[in-house]
Structure 1
Amino acid sequence: MTGVRSGPAMLLTLLVVALLAACAAPAGTDGDLVDGWPMLPAASYAPPRPGECLTGGTFSAFEQPDRAAPAPVDCAQPHLVEVVWAGPMPDAAAAPAWDSDATRAAYAACDAAATAYVGGDWHGGRLLPYLSIPGAAAWRGGVRTAVCGLAEAADDLFAPLARTGSLRDGLKDPRPLALDCVDLQGGDVSPEGFYRSVDAVTPVPCADPHDTEFVGVWTAPAGPFPADAQALNATVSKACFTAVAAFLGLTETQLYNRKDVYTFWDGLTVAQWRLGDRAAHCFLNVSTNNPLHRSLRGLGTAPLPAS
């Protein structure tokens, strides 16, 4: 007589059959839970393109913006930045530091693109650079693009201005974005009418009252940022003194003997230097007691024009 044995194996077989029966598709269905559902698109990032304008946010020149570039807007609408270049950054395990060779290479490309975009050295315009590199979260998401732009300087050369219209060719004739005359604001004015400390450098038309005029850019030699502030000031002042003399059509001795025209400069911050930008703005400066109403280019030994 043949018997049927029951035990753990038989119980397991019965359990599996029961589970399969329970999971069978209900009548009228095909059991495909994702039938007709589109797949989610892969994550992507479309960087702004040269010629596009960006609105919103604020930034400080030569420093990483607090947030990534906002969405583009029509340049006819108010905006802060106009994109002049967007390019790849080398892949790495982590996002590049602001003070890194990768960021300096991106800034060098940005600098060259900005000059080409406006038709002249952008340092000679009422312009501020904008550079944004991917942050840690964006980098982990696969973003490897640096974005470079320019902004028009506001009432202070160190702050951006919301504007409409394009900056393209702004330093080609008639050079509508050229940096020419400025008026200083500061404190602690000497009896002769010169500021001992300057708080703001405001671009103005040369026909408007002003005490200062841009004469050119001087670029410091490569090397570490000077630790001695007094030595840096002496070096840049000497270079700008030479530029002021040439602008006026004087020898340096003749300029030294004038007591009504002085040298003023700005730029060369630590943040700027770390990016590889070592440009200083050179200005001539006169007393606030005798404001100017025209350019002094080629003045020579003639007296200052009467205010």
Structure 2
Amino acid sequence: MAVALLILTATLAGCGNPAGTDGDLINGWFALPAASYAPPPAGTCLTGGVSAFEPSVVPLQAVDCAEPHAIEVVGTGTVPDAAAPPAWDSDPSRAAFAECDKAAAAYLGGDWRGGRLFPVFRVPLPAVWQAGGRQFLCGIAEAADDLFAPLERTGSVKGGLAQDRPLALTCVQLTGDDLDAKGFYGAVEAVKPVACDVPHDTEFVGAWTAPAGEYPNQLRLKELAGDACYLKIAQFLGISQTQLYQRADIYTFWTGLTASQWAIGDRTAHCFLNVSTKTPLRASIRNLGTKQLP
């Protein structure tokens, strides 16, 4: 009994406070800093997988712009506070995308729709949102051979649609199958931008924006875009729609107007004139009029 009491006394003595302390384990710690997030500033180049007008959670990594990269930041902004990040097809996302549209035009020196480019729009990922991040990111990518996937590049896109417009969309070469007897594709798989002095079968004539409203069914979408692009081709050639109708050597081709593109607030189609693969072009045919294809 005496030995047990001695051990208990020694143990209790060992549980006393060390010298210079008060036994309160929480009143002497510094508070942790508040979680924060800052998106990369305009001019930052990024790597990471993206597609035009598709929400993505793939992480993006900053790299030197002299190194191969897919995206360049053109601006940032802030979305309203909420319990979760805004959905792709929500009003806050559409409002933020509209801001990105303006930022891209200012950065490029022109509307990205006139270039071989597409916008990259990112709202904060859920983990960043939970940490307090409310900033969205606006980026621009150079388009590869389908105008909706990025082309890895070096250097900056800044000013790419100003002055000499080195990033302007001009002539393209289609790739596909099901060629008919006249040499026109029944199905197009890729749209590759090329210089107009390189043999090609298609030329960009302008962008068309559909009126606001619910996303049309595919038949109505083809009617709307087809009619609008047909008019743009006639204007590009410097002839009337009747005169264009009388030509059997120039067709209408357009891209864009996907459901996810429409959902974020962009209702743009790229309009092209298309000639037979049997008669490739080697120069622009703007203002060709009623003359034969060169």
TM-score by length of 2: 0.91
CA contact (8 A) 2:172 2:204 kept: yes
| Cross-structure match for 1:241 | 230
CA contact (8 A) 2:118 2:140 kept: yes
CA distance in 2 between partners of 1:172 and 1:226 (Å): 34
Question: Among 42, 50, 53, which residue is 1:59 paired with?
Answer: 50
Q: Does 1:271 align with 2:260?
A: yes
Give the SS at the match of 2:186.
strand
| Cross-structure match for 1:86 | 76
* Deviations, residues 230-258 of structure 1 (Å, cap 9, x unaligned): 22111111111110001011111111111
Question: Among 41, 44, 48, which residue is 2:36 paired with?
Answer: 44
CA contact (8 A) 1:59 1:66 kept: no
**Deviation for aligned residue 1:24:** 3.0
| Cross-structure match for 1:144 | 134
CA contact (8 A) 2:38 2:135 kept: no
Larger Rg computed on CA atoms: 1
Give the SS at the match of 1:169.
coil
Q: Does 1:176 align with 2:166?
A: yes
* Deviations, residues 109-133 of structure 1 (Å, cap 9, x unaligned): 1111111110111011010110111
**Deviation for aligned residue 1:135:** 2.6
**Deviation for aligned residue 1:35:** 11
* Deviations, residues 49-72 of structure 1 (Å, cap 9, x unaligned): 1111112x211111112234x232
Question: Among 138, 149, 160, which residue is 2:150 paired with?
Answer: 160
Amino acid at match of 2:288: L
**Deviation for aligned residue 1:78:** 1.5
Give the SS at the match of 2:245.
helix
CA distance in 2 between partners of 1:262 and 1:77 (Å): 40
CA RMSD of aligned residues (A): 2.2
Give unmatched runs, 5+ long, in structure 2.
Answer: 1-7
Equivalent residues in 2 for 1:119-130, closer than 5 Å: 119-130=109-120
Alignment coverage as a number of residue pairs: 284
CA distance in 1 between partners of 2:254 and 2:152 (Å): 26
Moved more, 134-143 or 77-86: 134-143
Moved more, 180-189 or 135-144: 135-144
| Cross-structure match for 1:110 | 100
CA distance in 1 between partners of 2:88 and 2:107 (Å): 24
Amino acid at match of 1:48: P
**Deviation for aligned residue 1:157:** 1.5
Question: Among 208, 213, 226, which residue is 2:216 paired with?
Answer: 226
Amino acid at match of 1:45: Y
Give the SS at the match of 1:82.
strand
Give unmatched runs, 5+ long, in structure 1.
Answer: 1-14
Percent of aligned pairs sharing the same letter: 59
CA contact (8 A) 2:57 2:125 kept: no
| Cross-structure match for 2:5 | none
Amino acid at match of 1:62: F
Question: Among 24, 33, 40, which residue is 2:16 paired with?
Answer: 24
Amino acid at match of 2:229: C
CA contact (8 A) 2:49 2:58 kept: no
